[in-house]
Amino acid sequence: MLPSCGLLRPDAKPWGESKMRFMTAHTSTPTHQPLASHFWAELNTRDFSALDPSRTVAVLPLGATEQHGPHLPLSVDTVLVEGVVKAALTHLDVADPVLVLPTQTLGLSTEHTAFAGTLHLSPQTLIQVWCDIGASVARAGVKKLLMFNAHGGNVGLMDVVARELRAQHGLIVYSSSWYNLPIDSSVMDQFSTDEHRFGIHAGDIETSMMLALSPERVTMSAAQNFSSTSQDRAKHYAILGNGKSAKLGWHMQDYNPQGAAGDAAGATALKGEALVHSAGEQLALLLKELVVLPLSTVRV
Ligand SMILES: [Zn+2]
């Protein structure tokens, strides 16, 4: 039986299942009724007039389509960002005014362009696209935007776009990448200190998450402990190798010619599930904080 008043069905699943049914409930128009869906594209244009502008948060999932070594598909960063968002939604109530925008599946992947299959958008294009999406969010009357990311290459542009949207539309824009969320230390401790520092691409962490989210796309027979040249520099250079004081403008082949860094051979679905679950929990908490954050946070 369907719940009343435009509520999302509790068993509703994002991405890949469009069978969600929910009441439209347009006959009565309470000021701020619960969302018909947590997905922006599943609302209809009239639903936006019922949003509470002081509370509603739009989430822009940012992924990439880029090489991830010999054992993982190009879709990793997109699968991961959607997996964490999906996990977060299970912790949200239908009354939580959070709207997930369409996932951006192409990102800034300059550092992976030497590898076949990588789809790369220029910085100029991405800044324009994300700014245009932000402008559309503002036009819909939504004043809070979270850019939620799974690809390290996107981070620099997220900073730029957040400030542009603040300047041009007075939006409250936060940027966050799943790996910077305060994930439970017992979950993070599943991975070695070296893995956290050097396993930056298609290593134990990303491979474990893929084994949890999309195991049919993982070729474990090709997974190895992929070394990184930055491990050598860390041993020989006190400042440029300390991982904090200086940053190399690297391309992936500078680290490893196979396009991966980290102990992918040590990956397990169990570790990945714990990571996705904990990241989802923390993202849900972040979203709840954003919902109650006052609009006076930015002064326009
Ligand atoms: Zn990745």
Nearest to 189 by CA among 295, 90, 278, 280: 278
**pLDDT computed for residue 32 by the predictor:** 64
Domain annotation covers residue 170: yes
**Can you give the residue range of the structural domain that contains 242?**
40-295
* Angle, CA 234 vertex, CA 231 and CA 240 arms, to 5°: 130
- Going from the Cα of 202 to the center of ligand 1, the distance in angstroms, rounded, reads 6
- Going from the Cα of 40 to the center of ligand 1, the distance in angstroms, rounded, reads 25
- Going from the Cα of 207 to the center of ligand 1, the distance in angstroms, rounded, reads 9
Task: Please give the helix or strand (H or E) that residue 99 lies within, else none.
Answer: strand 98-100
Domain annotation covers residue 44: yes
Domain annotation covers residue 129: yes
Alpha helices in 61-107 (DSSP H): 76-89
- Going from the Cα of 170 to the center of ligand 1, the distance in angstroms, rounded, reads 32
Residue 277 CB partners (closer than 8 Å, separation 6+) = 87
- Going from the Cα of 68 to the center of ligand 1, the distance in angstroms, rounded, reads 6
- Going from the Cα of 175 to the center of ligand 1, the distance in angstroms, rounded, reads 17
- Cβ count within 10 A of residue 236: 8
- Cβ count within 10 A of residue 109: 22
CA distance 175 to 167: 15
Question: What SS3 string covers 170-182?
Answer: CCEEEEEEHHHCC
- Length of the chain as a residue count: 300
**pLDDT computed for residue 31 by the predictor:** 52
**pLDDT computed for residue 259 by the predictor:** 98
The residues facing 120 across adjacent strands are: 107
pLDDT (tens place) for every residue of the chain, 300 residues total: 333 333 333 344 445 443 333 333 333 344 567 888 999 999 999 999 999 999 999 999 999 999 999 999 999 999 999 999 999 999 999 899 999 999 999 999 999 999 999 999 999 999 999 999 999 999 999 999 999 999 999 999 999 999 999 999 999 999 999 999 999 999 999 999 999 999 999 999 999 999 999 999 999 999 999 999 999 999 999 999 999 999 999 999 999 999 999 999 999 999 999 999 999 999 999 999 999 999 999 998
- Going from the Cα of 122 to the center of ligand 1, the distance in angstroms, rounded, reads 18
**CATH assignment at residue 126:** 3.40.50.10310
pTM over 0.85: yes
- Going from the Cα of 265 to the center of ligand 1, the distance in angstroms, rounded, reads 16
Measured CA to CA in angstroms, residue 281 lies from 19, 39, 68, 298 at distances of 25, 18, 26, 27
Domain annotation covers residue 29: no
- Going from the Cα of 214 to the center of ligand 1, the distance in angstroms, rounded, reads 14
CB 150 within 8 A of CB 80: yes
- Going from the Cα of 236 to the center of ligand 1, the distance in angstroms, rounded, reads 27
- Going from the Cα of 75 to the center of ligand 1, the distance in angstroms, rounded, reads 8
Domain annotation covers residue 4: no
Domain annotation covers residue 159: yes
Domain annotation covers residue 273: yes
For the chain, the domain total comes to 1
Domain annotation covers residue 136: yes
